[in-house]
Amino acid sequence: MGCATSVYAAVGTKKKLTVPEVAVFVPSTRIPAQSDLQKRLKGLIPKHVADRLSSVRNQIVFVAVDTGGSAIPELRRGLEEYLSLLIGLTNKEYGLEGLVEFKWTSLDDGKQQQEASSCVANSWFEVLSVVHLMAMLALAEADTLMIPKDHSGSGIRTLSSDCKREAVDLLLKATGYLEFCVRDVLVRIPPEIKKNLPKDLQDGVLEAISFQTLGQGTEIQLGLAVDCQKATLSVKRRLACEQLSYFSQAYHCLSGCDRINNGYGKKHMWFIKWKFLESKAAAYYFHGLMVDKGNEPSCHVSAVCCFLAAEEILSESKKACFTFCLAAPVTRAAPLWGAMKHLHQKIPEVSARKSQMYGYLLEQEKVVQVLPDLPEFQLSLRPDDYQLPEIDPAWESEKWETQGQSLLKEQLNDSDDDDETETE
């Protein structure tokens, strides 16, 4: 593995350039922008509810900007509290769903931040953005767990099995958030608003990240299986094939989105290509080992074809990894870990040995050299089920219902009077 970041001094300046190390890829993260919700909600809901909504949201903004999104526990607590209050604005009985504008921006630096800003007058857009941010925080926390620091001073860094399992749990939690966004939130947003949502919130992009996250969870499981002496070869092959299936679906989802046309979208696509190729190489390697157990000459030929394909695909994955790292914003891939640390050594070694061993069979004209199809397995990882928190009690009191409806009627009457004045 490697340290979380490498720091290089910029030539001729005191400013330092930080190149982050990536184990779990976190797509562009969006955060709420500072806004005066109290002013926007004045006359629509009771003052104490508006004050709490504005206060909690602005606190989230402050923590996110001040820490660059690294204060994950604090942000998670704030977002959960905010959601319980925000749900009231989505209640159709109150008629507030499209009356308040919510502004979000990107944590990315430079011009991208300006381009990524969005302001939408829809409370379900706000719910979508909040749950999406919770998913990104879970991915960021998993990434932190998968990049340990060397506290021994020996330069050797190890990652415990408990950390890996905890990272898988976080990935499943993130996938649950993303699936909730697609299944329960996007469907509530009007089509005219939905088509103009930020590219990060398109359903195809959300589905791609969801499959990608499951693929990375399976990648960690495969690494645990490789390190476990009791894990059978068939289990390792199944996990490798499942990982390939997840990244294949992620690629399919993302390739149909406009998001790949911008800079960060291209980096996202290269990450999926890199992991797709790695998992494909692993799948062919383990499938080759299984096929090679047969006694027929055709079995050995098929196995050699698998090993040669795995070696070629592994070489392609290294190029894809390099392209991903150089794509803006520049990053570093974490040093080899898990299954790939094992396979980067074993695939070339086994490919050379088996090619030499069964070379005479490959040269026989009667034997047809065909790369066998990989087996398909039922996907085993399942995202955590996510539901919105209970609505804050402030929205359920009879006092609010009476006061809120009265305030809303007054606001609407004032608007009608203004329109009549303008007409005259």
Share above pLDDT 90 across residues of the chain, in percent, rounded to a whole number: 57
- What's the pLDDT tens digit per position in 11-21? 344 445 678 88
Q: Where are the domains of the chain?
A: 5-35+101-374
Q: Mean pLDDT throughout 305-327? A: 95
Round to whole Å and give the CA distance between 207 and 186: 12
The pLDDT tens digits of the residues spanning 135-173 come to 999 999 999 999 877 655 555 667 888 999 999 999 999
d(Cα 157, Cα 149) in Å, to the nearest integer? 6
Q: What is the pLDDT of residue 262?
A: 65
pLDDT above 60 for 401: no
**Does residue 74 have a pLDDT over 90?**
yes
Q: Is the peptide bond before 329 cis (omega within 30 degrees of 0)?
A: yes
Q: What is the pLDDT of residue 110?
A: 41
What pLDDT score was predicted for residue 408? 52
* pLDDT interval class at 48 (50, 70, 90): confident
Percentage of the chain modeled with pLDDT above 70: 83
pTM value? 0.86
Give pLDDT, residue 235: 97
pLDDT-wise least confident of 201-215, 273-287, 330-344, 387-401:
387-401
Q: Supply the mean pLDDT for the chain.
A: 84
Residue positions counted in the chain: 424
Q: Give residues with Cβ within 8 angstroms of 92, minimum separation 6.
A: none
Give me 188's structure tokens. 């509530």
pLDDT tens, position by position, 367-390: 556 788 999 999 999 999 999 999
Main-chain phi, psi angles of 102, to 5 degrees: -120, 130
CATH class of 5-35+101-374: mainly alpha
Give the pLDDT mean for 297-311: 91
φ/ψ (deg, to 5) at 103:
-110, 135
Residue 404 has pLDDT above 70, yes or no: no
pLDDT the model gives residue 116: 56
Token pair, residue 116, equals: 């990524």
SS3 letters across the chain: CCCCEEEEECCCCCCEEEEEEECCCCCCCEEECCCCHHHHHCCCCCHHHHHHHHHHHHHHHHHHHHHCCCCHHHHHHHHHHHHHHHHHHHCHHHCCCCCCCEEEEECCCCHHHHHHCEEECCHHHHHHHHHHHHHHHHHHHHHHHCCCCCCCCCCCCCCCHHHHHHHHHHHHHHHHHHHHHHHHHHHHCCHHHHCCCCHHHCHHHHHHHHHHHHHHHHHHHHHHHHHCCCCCHHHHHHHHHHHHHHHHHHHHHHHCCHHHHCHHHHHHHHHHHHHHHHHHHHHHHHHHHHHCCCCCHHHHHHHHHHHHHHHHHHHHHHHHHHHHHHCCCCCEECCCCHHHHHHHHHHHHHHHHHHHHCHHHHHCCCCCCCCCCCCCCCCCCCCCCCCCCCCCHHHCCHHHHHHHHHHHHHHHHHHHHHHHHHHC
**Rounded to 5°, angle at Cα 81 from 405 and 109:** 110
Looking at 55-69, 90-104, 106-120, which range is the least confident one? 106-120
pLDDT at 30 over 80: yes
